[in-house]
Amino acid sequence: MLKILHILCVVSCLLFSTFIFSHQNETIVHGPFNISWCGNGQFYFEETHDLEYPIHFILECGDEKKIIDRYYVDGANFIILSNRQKPDMGIESVFFQEIGSKKHLFVIIKRNITHRALGINGDDYRVYAYENSPKNIIQLDKNIMKDNNLSGFEGESDGEESHFKYKTAAEVKKYIKETYNKK
């Protein structure tokens, strides 16, 4: 019985140390960007080893580090690297745009998707819009997120070509200006 407990203890320690060390290798893939309302604060996007949510939107304010959002793999292909797998997705652009008098942060995420049986080969785009609340909390703008024009597919699907209009910051800014900032 003592031998079994010893083996379980060793296995538990190995699993715990693997978990701890796997999260220390997270890489900033976009940013950091300074935040004026938070002294030495900044936000950035980091690639993690989480296969379901491989990119995290992080806010650091003082000594506090907070995950604002996590971007789901949502059907993206996987790339095999020498020591691990990685979803084939990334940040295409991060930019600010005013809607009315409020400054919004926009993030364009692109996921490469291939499914031969369904005839799918291309890129899935999603535009995320964030606003700063009166309490300086960065949060998704739920009204903008309901806009179906800000997500789409570019490529081939079921033998037909599909095109998405808003793949770049310039295209999204033009759309926001014409749709939400009409005078």
- State the pLDDT at residue 133: 76
- Could you give the CA distance from residue 68 to residue 140 in angstroms, rounded to a whole number? 9
Measuring CA to CA, which residue among 83, 29, 37, 38 is closest to residue 62? 38
Q: How many residues can be counted in the chain?
A: 183
Residue 5 placed within a domain: no
Query: 78 lies in a domain?
Result: yes
Domain that holds residue 86: 25-180
Residues 82-139: pLDDT tens digits?
A: 878 889 999 999 999 999 889 999 999 999 999 988 889 999 999 999 998 777 678 9
pTM over 0.85: no
pLDDT of residue 84: 80
The total number of structural domains in the chain stands at 1
Specify the amino acid at residue 154: E
Q: How far apart are CA 182 and CA 99, in angstroms?
A: 10
pLDDT at position 4 over 70 = no
| Domain assignment present for 6 | no
Phi, psi of 63 (to 5 degrees): -90, 0
Give the angle 16-21-24 at the CA atoms, nearest 5°. Answer: 135
Residue 17 lies in a domain: no
Does residue 50 fall inside a structural domain? yes
User: Do 87 and 132 meet the contact criterion of CB atoms below 8 Å apart?
Assistant: no
Total Cβ atoms within 10 A of residue 22:
13
Quick one: average pLDDT of 19-48?
Answer: 76
Residue 148 within a domain: yes
Residue-level pLDDT at 73: 93
* 9 within some domain: no
- The sign of the torsion formed by the CA atoms of 60, 66, 68, 71 equals positive
Please determine, for residue 16, whether its predicted confidence score (pLDDT) is greater than 60: no
State residue 9's pLDDT score.
39
Higher pLDDT, 156 or 12: 156
**How high is the pLDDT of residue 25?**
62
- Which pLDDT does position 183 carry in this prediction? 59
- Residue 48 CA to residue 56 CA, distance in Å, equals 7
Task: For the chain, give the mean pLDDT.
Answer: 84
In a domain, 7, yes or no: no
Q: Is the peptide bond before 32 cis (omega within 30 degrees of 0)?
A: yes
pLDDT in tens, 147-175: 999 999 999 988 899 999 999 999 999 99
In whole angstroms, give the CA distance from residue 45 to residue 59: 9
Better pLDDT: 167 or 3:
167
